[in-house]
Amino acid sequence: MIDVLVVDDDFMVARINGTFVDQVDGFRVIGTAHTGKEALAAAETLHPDLVLLDLYLPDVFGLDVITHLRARQVDCDVIVISAARELDTVRRAARHGVTSYLLKPFDLADLRTRLERYRAQRGAGLAEVAGCQADVDRVLAGGGPARAPALPKGLSVETAELVRQALRGSDESLSATECAELVGLSRVSARRYLEHFMTTGQVDVTLKYGVTGRPERRYRWQAR
């Protein structure tokens, strides 16, 4: 069971967010806080695994709460839930090591997706030793666990790493055909790996429309 601390200055929003969390298997709310001071005290007392953190708190900006948590050696992960859309704020949140950043307003499905992704990453990251350089790179680049979520049946770790390197090494988004040529796979196989990375939140997908036919799906590794 993953213990969650909900932090939001709005009492009603905090209650709704807590209700959402309790509807996702494997998660439970162990406390709520409405100010930065309350959040720090609750985190030190309750030892949550995960904090759902609003940024606009009445006494301190949410990212500063993270700084104080680290200074006090509180071992927890953080998902930001905020109306703040400024890219600079998102970048700062990434530098603070947040697990995810969810914009308000959102619904249960939006939060469920991020919580389930977090649970998968947390479960896959139980190993204490990096198996290879790629594991180290994932930790430093993404702030995530040392191991990626389990691959679907039929996909190999070695080929997934080749696809990942192709995506991360490209300055532009790649189509399945372009990725296949870089890695030496069939287009169908490359797309299976690309779609897997998309479902785990590691890849962004955009559509490129031509004059005729279906739009082309293009994939870009998320910058963390």
Q: What digits encode the pLDDT tens for the residues 102-145?
A: 888 888 888 998 898 888 877 655 555 555 555 556 555 544 44
Do residues 155 and 197 both lie within one domain? yes
Question: Who wins on pLDDT, 71 or 128?
Answer: 71
Do residues 94 and 188 both lie within one domain? no
User: Each residue of 175-218: pLDDT tens digit?
Assistant: 999 999 998 889 999 999 998 888 777 888 888 887 667 788 99
- Looking at the domain assignment, is residue 14 inside a domain? yes
Q: How far is 193 from 218, CA to CA, in rounded Å?
A: 13
Do residues 115 and 12 both lie within one domain? yes
CATH number at residue 208: 1.10.10.10
Do residues 10 and 54 both lie within one domain? yes
Q: Which domain holds residue 97?
A: 2-124
Mean pLDDT along residues 22-51: 95
Cα distances from 194 to residues 29, 111, 164, in angstroms, run 34, 23, 9
- Looking at the domain assignment, is residue 138 inside a domain? no
User: Each residue of 171-182: pLDDT tens digit?
Assistant: 899 999 999 999
Do residues 116 and 165 both lie within one domain? no
Q: What is the pLDDT, as a whole number, of residue 62?
A: 92
Copy the structure tokens of residue 159: 């080929």
- Looking at the domain assignment, is residue 192 inside a domain? yes
Question: Who wins on pLDDT, 57 or 120?
Answer: 57
Coil, strand, or helix at residue 97?
A: coil
Last residue of a domain, one of 60, 89, 124: 124
Do residues 100 and 32 both lie within one domain? yes
Q: How far is 15 from 119, CA to CA, in rounded Å?
A: 22
Last residue of a domain, one of 79, 109, 124: 124
- Looking at the domain assignment, is residue 204 inside a domain? yes
Do residues 112 and 182 both lie within one domain? no
Do residues 25 and 78 both lie within one domain? yes
Mean pLDDT along residues 11-24: 93
Amino acid at residue number 135:
D
Q: What is the pLDDT, as a whole number, of residue 140?
A: 52
CATH number at residue 6: 3.40.50.2300
Mean pLDDT along residues 94-100: 87
Coil, strand, or helix at residue 74?
A: coil
Q: What's the domain count of the chain? A: 2
Q: What is the pLDDT, as a whole number, of residue 145?
A: 41
pTM > 0.75? no
Mean pLDDT along residues 28-50: 95
Do residues 185 and 98 both lie within one domain? no
214 by Cβ neighbours in 10 Å (0-12 / 13-18 / 19+) ranks as: exposed
Copy the structure tokens of residue 28: 């439970």
Do residues 18 and 118 both lie within one domain? yes
pLDDT bucket at 150, cuts 50 / 70 / 90: low
- Looking at the domain assignment, is residue 44 inside a domain? yes
- Looking at the domain assignment, is residue 137 inside a domain? no
- Looking at the domain assignment, is residue 207 inside a domain? yes
Do residues 36 and 106 both lie within one domain? yes
Q: What is the pLDDT, as a whole number, of residue 46?
A: 95
Do residues 104 and 165 both lie within one domain? no
- Looking at the domain assignment, is residue 189 inside a domain? yes
